[in-house]
Amino acid sequence: MNHFKKKIWIIASLLVALTLLAACGNNKDSAENGQSEAQTPSEQNSGTEAKPDAEATTERTLTDAMGHVVKIPAEPKRVIASYLEDNLVALGITPAAQWSVNGGSVQDYLQEYLKDVPTIEHDLPFEAVASFQPDLLIMDSASMVEGNKYSQYDKIAPTYVVGTEVNNDWREELMQVGEIFNMKEEAQAALDKYEQKAKDAKEQIQQGIGGESAAAIWLVGGKLFVVSETLSSGAVMYGDLGLAVPNVVKEISASATGNWSSISLEKLAELDADHLFFINSDGEGAEVLQDPLWANIPAVKNGNIYEYGKETSWLYTGTIANTQIIDDVLESLVK
């Protein structure tokens, strides 16, 4: 339930909104189902151990996206990879701690796998990181280690930075994490499985509704946001599934700086979408839902609105998140 796709990581309440909107995350565009489609930790390698072959039994040296030469432990067992948990779970790896905002908001769609994993704040305070005694730290983007943060983290454990941008391509990110754990074959298999699922779903959607358009809207803290055309769940809908992009989405995406961009109710009433995916983090009593302008949105007026709660993977991106999004789209559009 494209991240904070520039990507700050995503959020989970108004607080989480600030994180996501500062850049909801990673420019990851598709995903593997964390329940029925993605391989579960028990179906792959459990724990955080790397692939058990000759190469994995010795310490390896890799160069990260920032040019750091990082010594990867032979079999890392206590990994912290904040906001990269989707990739870890897709590879059957359980982290020592998981991303959170204020110790409460977590990536709900991954809790089937991470429910017993303690949380750590998204900004990774040094003392909190050290308390988990990690043997490997994996950072999502260069912004997480700006200033002298990298040297501080590297004193705690070997630290690998996956990408230089906040919105990294989720496919490349998955493959990079696979390389870190010497699990490139497993990462490729997860990606291939996703690509096949997306291809099949695209065919079903074309047969079901042809070239109709869709948009995803998020309500949180009384404010409305629309997903960008090429990031997060937008990349899944438009890039992977071939749904037509409404003009309003194209217009807002042209100047978007994150996965989700603010949109007024007045502008939303102009949204020329045949279908509307509505992520409601505020619940049924939200004031905006009582406004006459809301009822005049074409998709709402025509009954083509599909509502999901804040626990949805629509706010995130990755193999598992995007697979769940595809399942939601199929359930809603293919009757």
Domain range summary for the chain, segments of one domain joined by +: 14-188, 209-333
CA distances from 185 to 45, 47, 133, 286, 318 (A): 12, 18, 29, 46, 17
89 vs 14 pLDDT, higher one: 89
Residue 45 is predicted with a pLDDT of 40
Residue 257 is predicted with a pLDDT of 86
Q: Are strands 223-227 and 214-220 parallel, antiparallel or unpaired?
A: antiparallel
| Predicted TM-score of the model (pTM) | 0.84
CA–CA separation, 305 vs 271, rounded Å? 13
Question: Dihedral, CA atoms, 260, 261, 264, 270, nearest 10 degrees?
Answer: -80
CA–CA separation, 335 vs 321, rounded Å? 22
Tens-digit pLDDT profile for residues 5-20: 334 333 444 444 444 4
SS3 25: coil
Task: Domain 209-333: give its CATH code.
Answer: 3.40.50.1980
Q: For the range 248-256, what are the long-range contacts, defined as Cβ-Cβ under 8 Å and sequence gap of 24 or more?
A: 248/215, 248/272, 248/273, 249/215, 249/273, 252/226, 252/228, 253/228, 253/229, 256/228, 256/231
Tens-digit pLDDT profile for residues 109-132: 999 999 999 999 999 999 999 999
Q: What are phi and psi of 69, to 5 degrees?
A: -90, 115
Over range 277-292, report the average pLDDT. Answer: 91
| Topology (CATH) of 14-188 | Rossmann fold (3.40.50)
> What does 226-279 look like in DSSP terms, one character per residue?
EE-SSSHHHIIIIIIS-PBPPHHHHHHHTT--SSEEE--HHHHTT---SEEEEE
Percent of the chain past pLDDT 90, that is, above it, reads 78
Residue 166 is predicted with a pLDDT of 85
Q: Residue 167 — pLDDT band, cuts 50, 70, 90? A: confident
- Do residues 153 and 124 touch, judged by C-beta distance below 8 A? yes
CA–CA separation, 318 vs 324, rounded Å? 10
**Tokens encoding 244:** 């037509």
Paired strand residues for 214: 275
Q: Where are the alpha helices (DSSP H) in 22-118?
A: 85-90, 111-114
**Tokens encoding 145:** 């280690």
| Burial tier of 92 (Cβ tally within 10 Å: 0-12, 13-18, 19+) | buried
Q: Is the pLDDT of residue 26 over 70?
A: no
Q: Residue 103 — pLDDT band, cuts 50, 70, 90? A: confident
CA–CA separation, 3 vs 165, rounded Å? 11
Q: Is the pLDDT of residue 35 over 60?
A: no
Residue 10 is predicted with a pLDDT of 39
CA–CA separation, 133 vs 24, rounded Å? 28
- Do residues 216 and 236 touch, judged by C-beta distance below 8 A? no
Mean pLDDT, the chain, rounded, equals 87
Tens-digit pLDDT profile for residues 37-88: 334 443 444 344 444 444 546 999 999 999 999 999 999 999 999 999 999 9
Residue 273 is predicted with a pLDDT of 97
Placement of tokens 């977590």 in the chain: 106
- Range among 18-27, 30-39, 154-163 rated most confident: 154-163
CA–CA separation, 239 vs 16, rounded Å? 26
**Tokens encoding 268:** 């939303």
Residue 284 is predicted with a pLDDT of 83
Q: Which of 149-153, 263-267, 287-291 has the lowest mean pLDDT?
A: 287-291
108 vs 41 pLDDT, higher one: 108
- Do residues 272 and 298 touch, judged by C-beta distance below 8 A? yes
14-188 matches 209-333 in fold: yes
Spell out the residues 6+ positions from residue 105 whose beta carbon is closer than 8 angstroms to its own. Answer: 11, 12, 13, 15, 16
Tens-digit pLDDT profile for residues 212-238: 999 999 999 999 999 999 999 999 999
